[in-house]
């Protein structure tokens, strides 16, 4: 009966909503003629891990979650915050308590009103050890009061610093002042979840037949490792503005096959296979895009106890960094518009201006000369060459870069670099245990603020594979949390990284995609890659 | 014969248990775990997750719990990677898919491969034979990871006749390309095997005797040569059938069929312990079953074998 009602409701609403739109056939603001079939089909290489907002841990799943659920804030095409379920927020003087005012017309797909209590439930659910969420730690990134205690089970979940004062007021108490806190609320793991559905169905609540969600779309079909479909949610508070009726994922594990099928007209969006960007851009200039991404490719230098003696010498680390010609890697190997990196934080990060570190201003010849000088000062030369091992996870792309870098080191510095590749999980475990010398790594921001990168060099960070420890960096990081303008701190930290070289930043990522020219509204400028299907539409060709 | 079946089933149970124990130990010996990731989980979070999945217990206890779960409730546990489903669900969804394209590939391979091999042997050193031999050599050196993208290029991009992938509940359009890609090398192998085997039988003494008795060639072939010539072929068919229905990683990943082959390989890479064990046990059980069927077929084909 419930399903039946849902279907009728959906059918009527779709009919009602699409009827006038199709008849008008034009975009309400731009006036472009719209295609009759508002269906967006895109490829993902891997199946998502879950569509449960508090469980999902991959970007594919996060994109689905952003369509199915809506959090306090959304992002616009440039990545700025725009109201979601929350209309606005206020904060106290020292930025430790944030009070969000929620809209009263937000609805779940079963017709219930979305309340502050749904957020309180979801956040407590995320922190609860019982839930065992892989994104549990995000509560600590958000600096929520008592998150650590709740996560370790030392405190009851009720102690978590989040409270629904009434249906439309959510009060969040932080462990300490944090000026960029609202930025974290666009993350999927902070989205509300329907307690009554989860209690009724347990882990099966996210199956298409059970799920209740509050976003612009509802999940209608899921065939594991083949396809997932979501259709517009007539109960969504802003459904009138949704144009795309249906969004379909096709899972194609092979990127080259995906491209062939894209060219055959099966999909609207797919990735550009590695190394084919330039060729494809020439061939399909209107459909190939390369957008900056908040990710950095770097080599971590093991300064820990298991690391080699040589890497404990700052001059050696500096020399290795100077000798890498980033331009060659970006222009000749990657060829997809990536940016050479001399700082760890990508320049595309919001509110972050790239500091002028010495290496960035030199020519490669100057860098090479400096590198040779530093390494010989450290006591290594042709007669006593430095031997070092590069560890990377098995992949053609990583291999090419490792070969190039080991050659650069050999030619310019006489360094005997050996390469060692390992299967992904073995690689992670070797690196995690600190049994490596130079290790390949990549890091993507969890939110659009420099601290998501720079926290990595915090001596207490679990991600600090280099085992770098610098009291000044730790202090600067702690201070920047509370500061209104943290840029001077971030500049200083980047300068310390450039000088101490616990890691060698190599390049900042781009994402290279094929997108049919009929699909409009794609947020190319959103560096976090956060897109929402309800902003997309298909124009008539 | 009943005796044989009972004996085989009795042996199957310890066999599967040994498979279970070895896989379990190998899996846990591999570095990393299901929750090792590029952004390592904080120790507290990892502990919570491991507690939830019982991975915090000693290995022997995990193994006992797992085995008891299977024996009492037929529960192969949850997937560690795909947190919204259980191993039972993954197998229930993936196995029918691989079963379908596997059985069709089997049928295609048997119905093309064996007759082609027989004709080639009967008309040795004729054009037909040369065709069969060159087909089987070409097809067996053309791996399916080359075949599959080529088929998609031709039939999807150039001709626009068939979808380049997906399953679509097993509609025939989605079946054609995977079945061609998967069956080609098996067809070639069966052709080669059948031809060689029949040629050998045709040169044996009892065939000469049959011919000397003046039996018509037709009777010589059908009554006396065919059955023994099929013995090596049947031996090959058992494992081949199991291989086909337990899925192919290549077919699943290139044609996005959603079958079990992809899950099998990826579960190993992801250290998704429960999925890997579940599929290993299923495949193990099927191997035992089809070996038994092959043995029973021997009894029918070869009068020297009596159970």
Sheet strands (E) in A224-328: 227-232, 246-251, 269-271, 288-301
Q: Tell whether the model's pLDDT for residue A9 goes beyond 60.
A: no
Which CATH number fits the domain that encloses residue A15?
3.90.76.10
- What are the backbone angles phi and psi of residue B99, rounded to the nearest 5°? -60, -45
Residue A10 has pLDDT above 70, yes or no: no
Q: Tell me how close the Cα of A20 comes to any Cα of chain B, in angstroms.
A: 32
pLDDT of residue B136: 92
Inside any domain, residue A451: yes
Query: Which span out of A132-141, A268-277, A492-501, B268-277 was modeled with the highest average pLDDT?
Result: A492-501
pLDDT at A11 over 60: no
pLDDT at A20 over 70: no
pLDDT confidence bin for B40, thresholds 50/70/90? confident
Judgement on whether residues A533 and A484 belong to the same structural domain of the protein: no
Cα torsion A204, A209, A211, A216: sign: positive
B239-286 residue pLDDT tens: 899 889 888 889 998 999 989 999 899 899 989 999 999 999 999 999
Whether residues A468 and A522 share a domain: the answer is no
Alpha carbon of A425: minimum distance to chain B alpha carbons (Å): 5
pTM of the model: 0.87
Instruction: Examine the domain organization and report whether A188 and A308 are in the same domain.
Output: no
Q: Is B170 on the interface with A (CB under 8 A)?
A: no
**Domain assignment of residue A260, yes or no:** no
Pair A345, A241 in one domain: no
Position A125 in a domain: yes
* Confidence check: pLDDT of A18 > 50: no
Distance (Å, whole) CA B120 – CA A454: 70
Put simply, the answer to whether A428 touches B39 (Cβ < 8 Å) is: no
Q: Does A228 reside within a domain?
A: yes
The answer to whether residue B1 scores a pLDDT higher than 80 is no
Phi, psi of A509 (to 5 degrees): -70, 160
* A118 is a domain residue: yes
Whether B148 contacts chain A with CB within 8 A: yes
Over residues B48-74, the mean pLDDT reads 89
Q: Which two tokens stand for residue B255?
A: 């044609």
Please answer yes or no on whether B45 and A251 come within 8 Å at the CB atom.
no
| A307 and A192 co-located in one domain | no
Q: Best interface-test mutation with A: which of B97, B149, B164 has the largest number of A CBs within 10 A?
A: B164
Report the alpha-carbon distance of residue B164 to residue B187 in Å, rounded: 22
Nearest by CB: A429 against B36, B49, B258: B36
Q: Which of B39, B43, B165 sits opposite A252 (nearest CB)?
A: B165
Q: Chain A contact for B29, CB < 8 A? A: no
Contact in structure between A405 and A391 (CB atoms under 8 Å): no
How far apart are the C-alpha atoms of A221 and A230, rounded to whole Å?
7
Q: Tell me the residues of chain A between 168 and 207 that have a Cβ less than 8 Å away from chain B.
A: 203, 206-207
How many C-alpha atoms does A277 have within 13 Å on its Cβ side?
Answer: 19
Question: Nearest Cα to B122, choosing from B50, B69, B201, B212?
Answer: B201
Helix H or strand E segment including A156: none
Q: Which residues of B touch A227 (CB under 8 A)?
A: 166
Task: Name the minimum distance, in Å, from the CA of A380 to any CA of chain B.
Answer: 33
The total number of structural domains that make up chain A: 2
* A23 Cβ neighbours under 8 A, 6+ residues apart: none
Q: What is the mean pLDDT of residues A198-212?
A: 95
pLDDT of the residue at B307: 64
CB–CB contact B269 A425 (8 Å): yes
Domain span at residue A97 reads 2-246+516-538
Q: Does B93 touch chain A (CB under 8 A)?
A: yes
- Using DSSP's 3-state secondary structure scheme, residue A124 falls into helix
Q: Are residues A406 and A496 in the same domain?
A: yes
Compute CA distances B204 → A533, B125, B191, whole Å.
72, 19, 20
Report the gap between the CA of B129 and the closest CA in chain A (Å): 36
User: Rounded to whole angstroms, how far apart are CA atoms A259 and A291?
Assistant: 18
- Asked whether the beta carbons of A465 and A434 are under 8 A apart, the reply is yes
Closest residue to B269, CB basis, from A260, A424, A432: A424
* Selected residues 196-215 of chain B with any CB under 8 Å from a CB in chain A: none
A134-153 residues touching B, CB cutoff 8 A: 134, 136-137, 140, 148, 151-153
- Give the three-class secondary structure for A340: strand
Task: Evaluate whether residue A278 is within a structural domain.
Answer: no
- Picking from B29, B30, B37, B39 by the largest number of A CB atoms within 10 A of its own CB, the best residue to mutate is B39
pLDDT surpasses 50 at A13: no
| 3-state helix/strand/coil string of chain B | CHHHHHHHHHHHHHHHHHHHHHHHHHHHHCCCCCCCCCCCCCHHHHHHHHHHCCCCCCHHHHHHHHHHHHHHHCCCCECCCCCCCEHHHHHHHHHHHHHHHHHHHHHHHHHHHHHHHHHHHHCCCCHHHHHHHHHHHHHHHCCHHHHHHHHHHHHHHHCCCCCCCCCHHHCHHHHHHHHHHHHHHHHHHHHHHHHHHHHHHHCCHHHHHHHHCCCCHHHHHHHHHHHHHHHHHHHHHHHHHHHHHCCCHHHHHHHCCCCHHHHHHHHHHHCCHHHHHHHHHHHHHHHHHHHHHHHHHHHHHCCCCCC
Q: How confident is the model at residue A245 (pLDDT cuts 50, 70, 90)?
A: very high
Q: Do B156 and A264 touch (CB under 8 A)?
A: yes
Min distance A254 CA to chain B CA atoms (Å): 6
What pLDDT is attached to residue A270?
97
- Classify residue A539 by its DSSP letter: B
Q: Tell me the pLDDT tens digit for each residue of B209-234.
A: 999 999 998 999 988 899 889 999 99
Q: Which residue has the tokens 């080599």?
A: A299
Instruction: Give chain B positions within 8 Å (CB) of A264.
Output: 156-157, 160, 164
Q: How confident is the model at residue B295 (pLDDT cuts 50, 70, 90)?
A: confident
Q: B272 — phi, psi (to 5°)?
A: -85, 80
> Which tops the pLDDT comparison, A106 or B3?
A106
For A1-55, give the secondary structure using H, E and C.
Answer: CHHHHHHHHHHHHHHHHHHHHHHHCECCCCCCEECCCCEEEEEECCCCCCCCCCC
* C-alpha–C-alpha distance, residues A134 and A149, integer Å: 17
Average pLDDT, chain A: 91
What pLDDT, on a 0 to 100 scale, did the predictor assign at position A19?
A: 42
Q: From A464, A473, A393, select the one nearest A426 (Cα to Cα).
A: A393
Say if residue A285 is exposed, middle or buried (CB neighbours under 10 Å; 0-12, 13-18, 19+).
exposed
Most confident segment among A125-134, A186-195, B282-291: A186-195
What is the distance between the alpha carbons of residues B27 and B279, in angstroms, rounded to a whole number?
Answer: 13
Distance CA A250, CA B267 (A): 20
Domain shared by A373 and A466, yes or no: yes
Residue B158 makes CB contacts below 8 A (sequence gap 6+) with: none
Percent of chain A surpassing pLDDT 90: 77
Q: Are residues A239 and A376 in the same domain?
A: no
| Cβ–Cβ contact B271 with A under 8 A | yes
d(CA B115, CA B121): 10
Does A1 score more than 50 pLDDT?
A: no
Residues A327 and A391 both lie in one domain: yes
Residues A505 and A524 in one domain: no
Q: B273-301 and B87-122 helices cross at what angle (nearest 10)?
A: 30
pLDDT tens for each residue of A263-315: 999 999 999 988 889 999 999 999 999 999 999 999 999 999 999 999 999 99
CB-based contact A393:A432 (threshold 8 Å): no
Q: A134 to chain B nearest CA, in Å?
A: 7
Q: Could you please report the per-residue DSSP string of A169-230?
A: EEEEEBSS--TTGGGGGGSGGGS---HHHHHHHGGGGGSTTT----SSEEEEEEETTTEEEE
Do A36 and A96 belong to one domain? yes
- Per-residue pLDDT tens over the stretch B62-115: 989 888 888 888 889 889 888 878 999 999 999 999 999 999 999 999 999 999
Q: Do A254 and B164 touch (CB under 8 A)?
A: no
**Which chain A residues have a beta carbon less than 8 Å from that of B43?**
462
A263 vs B: CB within 8 A: yes
Least Cα distance to A261 among B179, B299, B149, B94 occurs for B149
CATH number at residue A357: 3.10.105.10
- Say whether B258 and A55 touch across the interface (CB within 8 A): no
The residue-averaged pLDDT of A357-384 equals 93
Instruction: Tell me the mean pLDDT in the region A234-259.
Output: 95
Chain B residue closest in CA terms to A426: B31
The Cα angle at residue B34 between residues B28 and B37, in degrees rounded to 5:
125
A286 found inside a domain: no
Partner-chain residue, chosen from A130, A153, A266, that has the shortest CB–CB distance to B164: A266
Residues A78 and A529 sit within 8 Å (Cβ to Cβ): no
Residues from chain B that touch A136, judged by Cβ atoms under 8 A, are: 45, 48
Q: Which among A226, A260, A462 has the least Cβ separation from residue B164?
A: A260
Give the separation between CA A24 and CA B78, rounded to whole angstroms: 49
Gap from A199 CA to chain B (nearest CA, Å):
15
B94: which chain A residues are within 8 Å (Cβ-Cβ)?
224-225
The partner residue sitting opposite B41, judged by closest CB among A134, A207, A264, is A134
Cβ contact A254–B257 (<8 Å): no
Asked if A460 reaches chain B (Cβ–Cβ under 8 Å), the answer is no
Is there a single domain that holds both residue A345 and residue A206? no
CA B307/CA B295 separation, integer angstroms: 9
Of A129, A225, A424, the CB nearest to B262: A225
Question: Does A19 fall in a domain?
Answer: yes
Q: Residue B156 and residue A224: Cβ atoms within 8 Å?
A: no
- Which residue on chain A is closest to B154 by alpha carbon? A260
B36, B48, B255 member nearest A132 (Cβ): B48
Residues B87, B98: Cα–Cα separation, whole Å: 16
């Amino acid at each position: 009966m419930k399903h039946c009602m849902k279907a009728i409701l959906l059918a009527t609403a779709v009919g009602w909503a699409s009827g006038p739109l199709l008849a008008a056939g034009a975009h309400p603001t731009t006036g472009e003629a719209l295609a009759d079939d508002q269906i967006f089909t895109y490829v993902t290489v891997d199946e998502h891990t879950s569509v449960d907002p508090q469980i999902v841990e991959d970007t594919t799943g996060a994109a689905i979650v952003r369509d199915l659920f809506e959090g306090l804030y959304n992002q616009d095409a440039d990545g700025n915050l725009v109201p979601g379920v929350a209309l606005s927020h206020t904060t106290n003087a020292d930025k430790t308590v944030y009070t969000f005012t929620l809209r009263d017309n937000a609805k779940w797909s079963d017709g219930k009103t979305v309340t502050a209590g749904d957020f309180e439930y979801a956040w407590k659910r995320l922190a609860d050890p019982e839930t065992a969420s892989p994104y549990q730690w995000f509560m600590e990134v958000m600096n929520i009061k008592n998150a650590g205690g709740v996560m370790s089970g030392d405190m009851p979940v009720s102690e978590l610093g989040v409270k629904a004062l009434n249906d439309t007021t959510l009060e969040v108490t932080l462990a300490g002042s944090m000026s960029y806190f609202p930025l974290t609320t666009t993350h999927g793991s902070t989205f509300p979840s329907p307690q009554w559905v989860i209690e009724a169905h347990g882990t099966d609540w996210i199956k298409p037949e059970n799920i209740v969600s509050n976003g612009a779309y509802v999940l209608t079909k899921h065939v594991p490792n083949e396809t997932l479909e979501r259709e517009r949610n007539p109960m969504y508070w802003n459904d009138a503005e949704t144009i795309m009726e249906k969004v379909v994922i096709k899972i194609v594990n092979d990127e080259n096959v995906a491209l062939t099928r894209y060219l055959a007209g099966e999909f609207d969006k797919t990735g550009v296979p590695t190394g084919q960007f330039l060729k494809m851009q020439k061939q399909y200039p209107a459909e190939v895009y390369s957008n900056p991404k908040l990710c950095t490719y770097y080599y971590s230098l093991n300064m820990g106890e298991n690391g080699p003696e040589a890497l404990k010498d700052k001059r050696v680390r500096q020399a290795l960094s100077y000798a890498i010609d980033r331009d060659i890697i970006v222009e000749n190997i990657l060829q997809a518009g990536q940016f050479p990196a001399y700082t760890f934080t990508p320049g595309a990060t919001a509110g972050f201006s790239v500091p002028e570190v010495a290496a960035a201003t030199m020519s490669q010849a100057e860098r090479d000369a400096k590198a040779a000088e530093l390494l010989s000062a450290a006591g290594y030369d042709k007669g006593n060459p430095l031997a070092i091992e590069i560890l990377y996870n098995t992949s053609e792309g990583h291999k090419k870069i490792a070969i190039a870098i080991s050659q650069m080191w050999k030619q310019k510095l006489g360094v005997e670099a050996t390469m060692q590749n390992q299967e992904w999980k073995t690689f992670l475990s070797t690196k995690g245990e600190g049994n490596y010398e130079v290790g390949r790594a990549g890091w993507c921001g969890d939110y659009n603020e420099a601290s998501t990168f720079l926290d990595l060099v915090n001596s207490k960070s679990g991600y600090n594979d280099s085992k770098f420890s610098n009291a000044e960096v730790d202090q600067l990081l702690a201070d920047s949390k509370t500061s209104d303008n943290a840029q001077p701190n971030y500049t200083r930290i980047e300068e310390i990284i450039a000088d101490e070289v616990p890691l060698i930043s190599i390049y900042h990522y781009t994402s290279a995609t094929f997108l049919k020219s009929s699909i409009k509204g794609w947020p190319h400028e959103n560096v976090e890659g956060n897109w929402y299907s309800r902003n997309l539409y298909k124009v008539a060709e | 014969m009943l005796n044989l079946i009972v004996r085989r089933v009795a042996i199957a149970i310890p066999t599967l248990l040994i498979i279970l124990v070895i896989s379990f130990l190998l899996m846990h010996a591999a570095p990393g775990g299901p929750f090792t990731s590029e952004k390592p989980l904080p120790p507290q979070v990892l502990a919570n997750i491991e507690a939830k999945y019982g991975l915090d217990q000693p290995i022997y206890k995990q193994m006992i719990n797992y085995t008891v779960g299977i024996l009492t409730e037929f529960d192969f546990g949850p997937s560690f990677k795909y947190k919204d489903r259980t191993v039972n669900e993954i197998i229930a969804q993936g196995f029918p898919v691989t079963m379908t394209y596997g059985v069709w590939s089997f049928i295609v391979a048997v119905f093309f491969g064996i007759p082609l091999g027989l004709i080639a042997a009967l008309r040795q050193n004729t054009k037909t034979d040369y065709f069969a031999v060159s087909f089987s050599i070409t097809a067996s050196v053309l791996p399916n990871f080359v075949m599959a993208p080529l088929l998609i290029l031709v039939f999807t991009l150039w001709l626009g006749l068939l979808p380049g992938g997906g399953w679509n509940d097993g509609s025939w359009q989605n079946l054609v390309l995977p079945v061609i890609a998967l069956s080609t090398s098996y067809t070639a192998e069966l052709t080669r095997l059948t031809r060689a085997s029949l040629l050998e039988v045709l040169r044996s003494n009892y065939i000469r005797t049959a011919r000397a008795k003046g039996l018509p060639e037709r009777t010589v072939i059908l009554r006396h040569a065919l059955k023994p010539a099929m013995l090596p072929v049947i031996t090959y068919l058992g494992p081949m059938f199991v291989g086909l229905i337990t899925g192919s990683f290549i077919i699943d990943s290139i044609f996005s069929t959603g079958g079990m082959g992809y899950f099998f390989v990826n579960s190993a890479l992801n250290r998704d312990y429960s999925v890997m064990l579940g599929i290993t046990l299923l495949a193990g059980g099927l191997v035992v079953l089809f070996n038994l069927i092959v043995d029973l077929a021997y009894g029918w084909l070869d009068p020297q074998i009596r159970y």
